[in-house]
Amino acid sequence: MTVIKKVRKVYVDGCAVGGAFNKRVAEPTRPFWDAVRRGEIVVIVSAVLDRELTKAPQRARELIHTLPVSQVERVVSTNESNALAARYIAEGVVGESSLDDCRHIALATIHHADVLVSWNFKHIVTLTEFVDTTEST
């Protein structure tokens, strides 16, 4: 019998937050944020996300603050997550210009996210390459 773990902790990047207001992806994004508001999902947020959101429209910047406090886990970068992000760059997973994408992936890994949610199809969500996030440095 296969046991499927219910997704509970989800790391989000700026694309996931902005997607709530992007007319191309708002519709498929809405059920995710509704599940967070209902208490079914805890979102993991970081300073990397905060930096990304400084360039976003105001309603995207404010989205995290509209969520129940119990559904938001704020994490910080550590030496371990920074080293893991640097390793992704060194291994050629993506180029150096994508360091923040690597930081998102590393933070999701270090903080045991069940899933990383993103609309970033260039560096994070790919169908041809998968990064094994179960191993850290």
Model confidence pLDDT, tens digit, residues 50-95: 999 999 999 999 999 999 999 999 999 999 999 999 998 898 877 7
CATH code of the domain in which 102 resides: 3.40.50.1010
Three-state SS string across the chain, please?
CCCCCCCCEEEECHHHHHHHHCCCCHHHHHHHHHHHHCCCCEEEEEHHHHHHHCCCCHHHHHHHHHCCHHHEEEECCCHHHHHHHHHHHHCCCCCHHHHHHHHHHHHHHHCCCCEEECCCCCCCCCCCCCCCCCCCC
Residues 91-133: pLDDT tens digits? 887 777 678 888 998 999 999 999 888 875 454 544 344 444 4
Burial class (CB in 10 A: 0-12, 13-18, 19+), 80: middle
Domains: count for the chain: 1
Is there a domain that residue 125 lies in? no
Most confident among 14-18, 70-74, 132-136 (mean pLDDT)? 70-74
Residues 31-56: pLDDT tens digits? 999 999 999 999 999 999 999 999 99
Is there a domain that residue 23 lies in? yes
3 pLDDT above the threshold of 60: no
Is there a domain that residue 126 lies in? no
Is there a domain that residue 112 lies in? yes
- Boundaries of domain holding 28: 9-117
pTM of full prediction above 0.85: no
- Give which of 60, 16, 63 is closest to 37, Cα–Cα: 63
- Give which of 86, 73, 76 is closest to 136, Cα–Cα: 86
Is there a domain that residue 129 lies in? no
Distance (Å, whole) CA 54 – CA 67: 18
Is there a domain that residue 4 lies in? no
Is there a domain that residue 3 lies in? no
Is there a domain that residue 122 lies in? no
